[in-house]
Chains A and B, each alone.
Chain A
Amino acid sequence: MTGKKYDWLLYSILAASFALSCALVFATRPKDGGLTFEAVRGGTVIERRRAAELTDGVALDLSSGAMTNIVASDPTGIRMVLANCPGGDCLRARPMKNAGDMIVCIPHKLIMRIVSSSVGAIDVMSY
């Protein structure tokens, strides 16, 4: 009888451990972070925010010293609206809307991109 009691105790601990493990694994599971806008200059992230925060009309000033770069959001996506780089290729770049989209201002060494932390999303593109 005593042995059976201990069996039930062990089974209870087993069930509790299983439930606790499931709860902890669930609580620490990778979360869908959605889309994030990032701007990087000289290897340093100078701006990072949820893309959803960049609603229509919101502008971000990414200028540094004499290098002017301003991005803004409109219904087509996030685009460079003002830059004083030679050539101005970044001003003509396609707006960013989806994960993997990128605008680069090579003369100002400024990289802007949309990244996704969703599980199953594409990490990188091979061109």
Chain B
Amino acid sequence: MKRFFNLHSFIALCSIMGIAAIFIINRLDPLNTVSRDGVALDTVISVTASAPKSISELNGILNDAFALIEELDDRFSMYNENSDVSLMSANAGGEWVPVSRPTYEALAAAVHAAKLTDGAYDPTIGPVSIAWRDRLSENSLPSEEEIDAALLRVSFDALELSSSPPMAKLDMPGGVVDLGGIAKGYVSSSVRNLLKERGVTSALIDLGGNVVVIGGRPRNGSGTRTPWRIGVQHPSKPRGTPICVVSLSEGSVITAGDYERFWEVDGGRYTHIYNPATGFPVDGRLKSVTIISDDPTQGDALSTAFIVMGEPQALELLRIMPEVGAIFISETDDEEYRITATGDLKGAVETTPGGPHIAFHDTW
């Protein structure tokens, strides 16, 4: 009997237990998954959530997530005359306006991003975007006088906030708050918080291409996870064609591209991203910026700001933001594309077969 407990036997027993443990772990965490799509925030939205919960529990969580999205959409929309943002614009130059806590938080994040980017992102760009939208929808262009008049009403310095109770004031007669460059980021962050608080262990939140992921991609009900694979849109190929792919288990991938929404008038192409310094749509070689970070609200604002600032200035700013990764897609002289990514994304971003080489740039 003494030899039964020798070293070989002990190793063999441990091995059996180890193999059993590996298999049990692989089969534990039996996840259920539910997905839902809808239309909100002027785009298609989709949420997929997985957790060791019943399907009905998960559906209840998605009900709440979609209710939250609709509520925030109502508060942030420029096109809903009763939204917090519209009421602020209606009272521009006048009194303080009581706002909801989410609106206060989104405005505070917007002002912070505006300061950080020295106004390349500006939540008071509304007069400019309205001037362009109104003219372009009539197949014409705004005059320089109209643009200059609109620019006089753009200044994030005029946006004042008070925390308790949450109130806001746009101290600029004729000013218009436009949270379009940050709203989807804030909403996706709020949905992520809700899903995590309710015990969701894996999720994919897609608000019109603004992507937030939680906990890796479950592999067909098993306990193992792989990173989510997020394609970055090719600037000139059909929608859904990636130019590169980001692998990410947790965080956000937010892209701003000049190809996403645009108007064509008299042979000219005018994107929906405006330079707050000039009042004109951006029109450079930089076609898109993708921000990979843990903060989708900031990522949304930065992606817009970086398109305005251009790659060199954006990379300079990223030197003080080691928690933020970025991918820049630029057009080259020979109408090809160049991809630059921050060094922290090595191993997380790959080009597509036959796609451009990725140059990694160490920012810190």
Contact = CB atoms under 8 A, between A and B. Distances in A.
Q: Is this pair of chains taken from one and the same complex? A: yes
Interface in B1-28: 1-4, 6, 8-9, 12-13, 15-16, 19-20, 22-23, 26-27
Interface stretch (B116-124, B156-164, B219-227, B268-276): B219-227
A10 B231 contact: no
Given A40-B37, A109-B38, A11 B231 contact: no
Contacts of A6: 3-4, 9
B50 to A, nearest CB: 13
Nearest to A41: B37
A35 interface: no
Given A3-B4, A17-B20, A43 B219 contact: no
Interface string A81-109: 00000000000001000111110101001
A83 to B, nearest CB: 15
A43 B16 contact: no
Interface residues of A, number: 43
B206 interface: yes
B257 interface: yes
Interface in B222-240: 222, 226, 228-233, 238-240
Most chain B CB neighbours (cut-off 10 Å) among A14, A17, A44, A124: A124
Interface of A: 2-4, 6-7, 10-11, 13-14, 17-18, 21, 24-25, 28-31, 40, 42-45, 94, 98-102, 104, 106, 109, 111, 117, 119-127
Given A10-B13, A30-B220, 6 more contacts: A43-B37, A111-B39, A125-B233, A126-B211, A126-B230, A127-B233
Interface of B: 1-4, 6, 8-9, 12-13, 15-16, 19-20, 22-23, 26-27, 35-39, 44, 46, 62, 66, 204, 206, 208-211, 217, 219-220, 222, 226, 228-233, 238-240, 242, 245-246, 253-255, 257, 260, 290
